[in-house]
Structure 1
């Protein structure tokens, strides 16, 4: 039976699009247009109570019954464990992969998201925030570049869920205030992953529905009172 995927064409969404394409398992996509407020629909909140996408419903969960999973990192771990791919069994490699996945979830994604927001979406330039998150973006790319000077992939020799999690967030470094040429190991890694057919298919999922940027209504939904309303 197909996995039901609730998503949008964002870095976090692309993580799961890529993972499902890499696994080659059947899935049905349900577009959650975050600029239109789909993430606040009561039916979606039953699947993702934090009103964030992506989320999945697997009709064949661990006990044979349906299970819903939200948070992209948790979804990656769930799918990797279910299908036995992209998450090594050997303990040292497994923990290396897990720590870099957590690094992406706790640092790379949130900080690059803030850099992207204050550089591209803030209604006015706030110099402190602009510099703070641009500097942090570059620091994180240095961490990434250093790691990739030591290993082919984030978890070691093998492509894993850590790479699947991090790669979509590094597609537009210029919008994060980062010069990709300053980080040659990152460039090598990025380009190698970009050549994977499943990655190329994954980034096209829902891409035709997403427009560049957000209009005033979408910004209010994403960043204004609508986001914080009691539900």
Structure 2
């Protein structure tokens, strides 16, 4: 009765169960319900058996209640907070979150918890703070992507790092013209070859790898105007394929998506 009054037993079934004689199996932290077995009864053995059964039942019930509460707390999702703006690389993060249905709250770019005051910067529960768009994408992939082994993770991380370390200089490098994506060059030649055999970069399925790589490619027509991609028809098709995804337009804006579709030719 005092358990019910204290709120530890929250339904009548649990209370009725504790009130009745039962066979208790404490294995694996669970309680098996059943009818009481017929036993020879003595005054001392009957009282001891009843006390033991009630003690085990009480312990198991409290353990089960605690496990249910802990399970509910683990499955409850709290949105991470992204400090950013449309004019920065924040839309890369938004795009991935929209595609993967990841809860995200937008916060003002200033003040930013970034050590240098920049954006994007992601804040999550447990004191987590991440800056640099690529690092944020990898964190969200680890937390929500369902990838459980280093081998699986490597298929995606290499492309995210490639986008930040190599592709950025191709897209925004020489004289800040953006023309390098259309000119002969080892990096873009290899990307053209890869995309001749697959619509997307990893297992022919859209992923965080495409978010990282195609975000940089699709900035070029917005910042630098039209590009003749006749040398790179597969890259051009890839850019338009990604820009046509509803989540891309939602993250970057309809105008951005339209620029890719109309200014990339060839």
TM-score interval, normalised by the smaller of the two chains = 0.5 to 0.7
Give distance in 2, aligned partners of 1:187 and 1:136.
10
- What's 1:143 paired with? 190
Aligned length: 174
Structure 1 contact 134–177 (Cα < 8 Å) conserved: no
Deviation at 1:204, TM superposition (A): 2.7
| Aligned equivalent of 1:186, options 235, 251, 258 | 235
Output the aligned Cα RMSD.
2.9
Give distance in 1, aligned partners of 2:182 and 2:165.
13
1:141-175 deviations in Å (ceiling 9; x for gaps): 33321221133212232211110011121225451
Task: Summarize the Cα distance change of 1:159–1:182 in structure 2 as closer, same or farther, 3 Å threshold.
Answer: same
Give distance in 1, aligned partners of 2:238 and 2:98.
19
Give distance in 2, aligned partners of 1:53 and 1:159.
26
Structure 1 contact 173–180 (Cα < 8 Å) conserved: no
Q: Unaligned stretches of 5+ in structure 2?
A: 1-77, 257-266
Deviation at 1:185, TM superposition (A): 0.9
What TM-score comes out, normalization by structure 1 length? 0.63
- What's 1:48 paired with? 114
- What's 2:216 paired with? 169
| Aligned equivalent of 2:92, options 2, 8, 15 | 15
Runs (4+) of structure 1 exceeding 6 A deviation are: none
Give distance in 1, aligned partners of 2:233 and 2:218.
15
Deviation at 1:55, TM superposition (A): 1.1
Give distance in 2, aligned partners of 1:92 and 1:157.
17
Structure 2 contact 218–243 (Cα < 8 Å) conserved: no
Structure 1 contact 11–169 (Cα < 8 Å) conserved: no
Give distance in 2, aligned partners of 1:180 and 1:93.
32
Give distance in 2, aligned partners of 1:136 and 1:183.
9
**Residue 163 (structure 2) pairs with residue 104 (structure 1):** yes
